[in-house]
Structure 1
Amino acid sequence: MNFQLASRFSRNINAARSDEPMSDDQIRAVAPSIFAESAHASRSERYTYLPTIDVINGLRREGFQPFAVAQTRVRDSGKAEHTKHMIRLRYASNINDSEAKEVVLLNSHDGSSSYQMLAGMFRFVCANGMVCGETHSDIRVRHSGNIVDNVIEGATRVLDSFEEVTEQRDGMRALTLNEGEAQAFGRAALLLKYDDLAAPAPVTERQILNARRSADRGADLWTTFNVVQENLVRGGLIGRSKTGKRATTRGVNGIDQSVKLNRALWQLAEEMRRLKAAN
């Protein structure tokens, strides 16, 4: 089994992924808040507490398996065992030669998050997970009522949305971008991460359009989107700071920031697809 700690996220989150379903011990080592024995003291009596591991076990019984987990690091030690966490689940059989469809589950026990489920996709070529941006696959379940059944129903609804996600992906693959269109996409993507209009981004659109491997060299929209997404999320590009000094771009740290940027990039790519298809 390939079990890997994602140390690049060490500033703000602990994270790990595996190429096989993760055991409880592996999950606990990275995200102990998934096993919290009670809600945070700030929660009222109306809050229905259920450990996230109980929800995961319910999803396991339905055929879902966890392949990646993450937990936010917090300064308040009193919230460390209740903080936000993320689990990426999929059917072990729901894999083709390049990608896997995933249900991205977010939760916390300190009031910072309800149960939230999003459509995700994992690319094996770069071991990188993305979040699909359409709101129809954004399912939220409050901490009340029959949580396990509601989350299982939500996960099934997310999987049902993949028919549309697959159509969008195939549509992106079918569209070729010329150089000007690719650079326009890159410039728009930079603004999603570096939104300070008073200062230039530390890198150029040409840099984030540069593929990290030969398998990602292509002019279609899907390939362009994936190259840009990896470069922005992972960081590590050499650029210039606001003062003009040599600097290396940072990866996206934090669960919320990663989900927000990933969804925005998907929506940008989907809008480009619609515009190209209309012409």
Structure 2
Amino acid sequence: MNRYMRGMTNGGMIRANGTQALCLDEMRARVPAIFAAAAHESRSERYVYIPTETVLRGLMAEGFEPFFAQQSKTRVEGKEAFTKHMVRLRHASRVTSGDEAHEIILINAHDGTASYQMISGVFRFVCANGLFAGDTFGQAKVMHSGDAESKVIDAAYTVLEDADRIMNDVQEMKAVELQHDEQQAFAKAVHALRFDDPEKAAVSADQLLLPRRYEDRRGDLWSTFNVLQENTIKGGQRGFTRDAAGHRRRASTREVRGIDQSKALNRALWTLAEEMARLKGAPLASAA
């Protein structure tokens, strides 16, 4: 199994409709792990329980608004209300920037599987697609100890400082034109990331380049990157696999729903886009 797909889970999820932020009641109904009343019983006395709800309310008071929330499933009975969860937020001062918006991604868990993590991301309105920025941009982690609430809010502002650099990178990617063979090379690299054995995958690398909407029929790096990212993460592309007897069977690619898997694969794709820009002689400022 591909390392980006191990432990893939399919938990509760809610996404805002358009530019209207989510309210806490909406999130509570679909992503209850955010609102856990206590830490899971497996945690020791050294574990400082700071509910995500408290942190989220603090972030909202500072102008950070939630637009997406998700939690992981678990096979361990009794852990459903404590699992890893993710919230994507936008600051009121930076809700939109043309066709994209900078986002701050909060990841936490109340069962000891994650510290508080804050990571930069980009939301693309045309496809309602949320991306993670690459490893070029820092991420902040806050352990469950001490004054975690204020530390997470401080971390959010630290990550927010990357907003200008990230949105500048987006504009630079839009200015880089790719030839068809360069798009194919990009797709092959993405295909190899997504599938352990590309020869046995249900879809080919070229299929990952098929746009889902007219607006993405462009040859620039940003459009190509988004087509590849959307097809890789959202899945749903149809193709064929072969069983042990060699018979062809219809199959479709799976959506990447696990929080850790989505994060790792998204960040790897962003790094590939940075490398493609460098190979084209237009290195992104943040990666220079």
Aligned to 1:99: 100
Kindly indicate whether the alpha-carbon contact (under 8 Å) linking 1:72 and 1:83 is maintained by their aligned counterparts in 2.
yes
Kindly indicate whether the alpha-carbon contact (under 8 Å) linking 1:137 and 1:157 is maintained by their aligned counterparts in 2.
no
Q: State the alpha-carbon separation in 2 of the partners of residues 150 and 88 from structure 1.
A: 18
Aligned to 1:155: 156
**1:274, distance to aligned residue in structure 2 (A):** 1.3
SS at match of 2:83: coil
Identity of aligned residues (%): 48
Q: Does 179-188 or 254-263 show the bigger shift?
A: 254-263
Look up the equivalent residue of 1:263 and give its one-letter code.
R
Aligned to 1:277: 281
SS at match of 1:16: strand
Look up the equivalent residue of 2:13 and give its one-letter code.
A
Aligned to 2:258: 254
Structure 1 residues 184-217: Cα deviation after superposition (integer angstroms, max 9, x where no partner): 00000011110236x4322112211111111111
Q: State the alpha-carbon separation in 2 of the partners of residues 105 and 161 from structure 1.
A: 15
Structure 1 residues 28-63: Cα deviation after superposition (integer angstroms, max 9, x where no partner): 111111111111111111111011000001101110
Aligned to 2:209: 209
Mapping of residues 1-279 of structure 1, within 5 Å: 12-18=10-16, 19=18, 20-94=20-94, 95-196=96-197, 199-243=199-243, 244-277=248-281
Aligned to 1:7: none
Q: State the alpha-carbon separation in 2 of the partners of residues 165 and 11 from structure 1.
A: 29
CA RMSD of aligned residues (A): 1.7
Q: State the alpha-carbon separation in 1 of the partners of residues 260 and 80 from structure 2.
A: 17
Name segments (4+ residues, structure 1) moved above 3 Å.
Answer: none
Look up the equivalent residue of 1:235 and give its one-letter code.
G
Aligned to 1:3: none
What is the TM-score normalised by the length of structure 1? 0.92
Q: State the alpha-carbon separation in 2 of the partners of residues 173 and 278 from structure 1.
A: 11
Q: State the alpha-carbon separation in 2 of the partners of residues 218 and 137 from structure 1.
A: 30
Look up the equivalent residue of 1:269 and give its one-letter code.
A
What is the TM-score normalised by the length of structure 2? 0.89
Look up the equivalent residue of 1:14 and give its one-letter code.
G
Q: 1:91 to 1:52 in 2, by over 3 A?
A: same
Look up the equivalent residue of 1:172 and give its one-letter code.
M
Q: State the alpha-carbon separation in 2 of the partners of residues 65 and 226 from structure 1.
A: 24
**1:93, distance to aligned residue in structure 2 (A):** 4.6
Q: State the alpha-carbon separation in 2 of the partners of residues 65 and 278 from structure 1.
A: 34
Higher RCO (C-alpha 8 Å, min separation 6)? 2
Structure 2 alignment gaps of length 5 or more: 1-7, 284-288
- The count of aligned residue pairs is 269
